[in-house]
Amino acid sequence: MLPLKNMFLLTVGMTLLVLYFVWASQLTEVARRFAHQENVFMCHITLEDSRGKQFTGLPKIYFVTPTYPRREQAAELTRLGQTLMHVPDIHWIVADDNRSCNAMVVKLLKKFGIPFTHIASPMPEVYRKASIVPRGVANRRAALNWIRKHAEKGVIYFGDDDNTFDLRLFEEIRDTKKVSMFPVGLIGDYAVSSPVLKEGKVVGFFDSWPSKRKFPVDMAGFAVNVEFLLTHPNATMPYKAGYEEDHFLRSLGLTLEDIEPKADSCTQVFVWHTQTSKREPPTIKIGSQLDTSLKDLLEEITSLGMARVSSSSGVKSYITKDGNTKTL
């Protein structure tokens, strides 16, 4: 009987061990999927154009802007929005790296009168721990998915909120049949990134970081026809910093012969990478009750994410009058 009992206990133990490993494996897989999961929240869509601009019937430009919370966010979206106000037939897709819909962003976007879609598309947590964080990928992937569901024709352009644009760029890209390309200023060691042409055809690329990329171009240096995108349902961007553009264009099956050079045969610059120097929002110490316009001003810059106010810590603040200062 004893050997039989031992055999029974051994069988039960082995079964429990197997069940444990199966459970642990499933738990690990669930955790892995959760870490890579893309959560997209649709915040606001408006198709109304209240700028008073006459509809021209030109191909619509879907202008995709990835953004993220920081003290410069409102300023840079304002600068970009006031550029886009001059562009007819445009739909602005603003995808925010935020776990929830930012009321400040929606309020700001409504001021421009431009048709827009506001999406909250936070980066999956696993990629935030990467040695080089692939910023903007989740945002652009969310925008591409939105375009696939809501657009049938037009042109897609990826424009960051810290870039600067010549209005001629929008005129140039509207007739893109597959993929158009053009120079981008203030990029890398050459201060420019661009296709190189010979006899009107693209024969290579001038970029200071080639890194074995087939298409060593900047995100701001190309536009894609919506119908062409829709013929490639699996085309997307990878979470691989520095290779987002290259892999996306490869996934479209693009060849050098397909590229449509713009900007006077790639000899002019209509877009620049004017990145703003980033700083953490300061905490301003206000130890007294305010009864002046400063109270409303501080509430405004707090709502815009530019600063924080604290009664107990932070940068000392003063009011100055006639050369004399009073601590707040």
Between residues 136 and 297, which one has the greater pLDDT?
A: 136
Residue for token digits 């019937």?
57
Q: Encoding tokens for residue 22?
A: 């199966």
Average pLDDT over residues 284-304: 80
Quick one: average pLDDT of 43-52? 92
What was the pLDDT predicted at 77?
Answer: 97
Q: Rounded to whole angstroms, how far apart are CA atoms 1 and 3?
A: 6
Percent of the chain with pLDDT over 70: 88
Considering the four listed CATH numbers 3.90.550.10, 3.40.50.720, 3.40.50.2300, 3.30.310.10, the one that applies to the domain covering 41-272 is 3.90.550.10
CB 154 within 8 A of CB 226: yes
Mean pLDDT of 15-43: 65
Compute the average pLDDT of residues 148-167: 96
Q: What is the pLDDT of residue 305?
A: 81
pLDDT at 22: 58
Specify the residue for token string 């994410």: 305
For the chain, the domains span 41-272, 283-327
Task: Give binding residues for Mn(2+) as ranges.
Answer: 162
Give, as one character, the DSSP assignment of residue 257: G
pLDDT of 5 reads 61
Contacts of 295 (CB under 8 A, 6+ apart): none
Gap between the Cα atoms of 257 and 194, Å rounded: 16
Q: What is the DSSP string of 195-236?
A: EEEETTEEEEEE-S--TT-SS---GGGEEEEHHHHHT-TT--
Average pLDDT score, the chain: 88
Question: Which residues touch 150 (CB under 8 Å, ≥6 apart)?
Answer: none
pLDDT, tens digit, 9 for 90 and up, residues 81-94: 999 999 999 999 99
pLDDT surpassing 50 at residue 323:
yes
Transcribe 36-48 into DSSP letters.
H----EEEEEE--
The predicted-structure confidence for 182-215, as pLDDT tens digits, reads as follows 999 988 888 889 999 889 999 999 998 888 899 9
Task: With a cut of 80, say whether residue 318 has pLDDT above it.
Answer: no
Global pTM value: 0.83
Q: Is the pLDDT of residue 31 over 50?
A: no
Per-residue confidence (pLDDT) for residue 25, from 0 to 100: 60
| Per-residue pLDDT at 67 exceeds 50 | yes
Ranked by mean pLDDT, the top range of 214-218, 222-226, 282-286 is 222-226
| Residue 172 a catalytic site member | no
> Contact at 8 Å (CB) between 219 and 160?
yes
- CA separation for the pair 105, 39 (Å, rounded): 19
pLDDT at res. 80 = 97
Q: Per the residue annotation, which of 72, 76, 172, 245 is the catalytic one?
A: 245
Q: Are 286 and 311 in contact (CB under 8 A)?
A: yes
Nearby residues of 186 by Cβ (< 8 Å), 6 or more positions away: 192, 272, 273, 274
